[in-house]
Structure 1
Amino acid sequence: MNYDQLAKEILSRVGSIESVTSIVHCVTRLRFQLKDEGLSKTEWLRQE
């Protein structure tokens, strides 16, 4: 999977780009602030 596909997959799993308030990264993590965390599929995101 290339980075563009991975980014689209991650955004679809957090709800959509509209539900993202902010994103911060560190070495091993992406940290999302979401408007509605109920839309995210966190179990999938934690597996990856």
Structure 2
Amino acid sequence: MLSSIRALIRSLKAAVNPDRYRPELHYMRGPGPACREQKSRAGDGDTDRA
């Protein structure tokens, strides 16, 4: 009886507050627009001096 109550409580906790790792929230897909902007600004000044 006690083990079934514990199992019920555990399943209710999991349903209310799922504490699972979700990789799609942490996956980086590559450099973003800010990185591209910095690289383009750095490249503009170097080509004029050469």
Structure with bigger helix share is: 2
Q: Do Structure 1 and Structure 2 share a fold, with TM-score over 0.5? A: no
State the TM-score, normalized to the length of structure 2.
0.31
State the TM-score, normalized to the length of structure 1.
0.33
Structure with bigger strand share is: 1
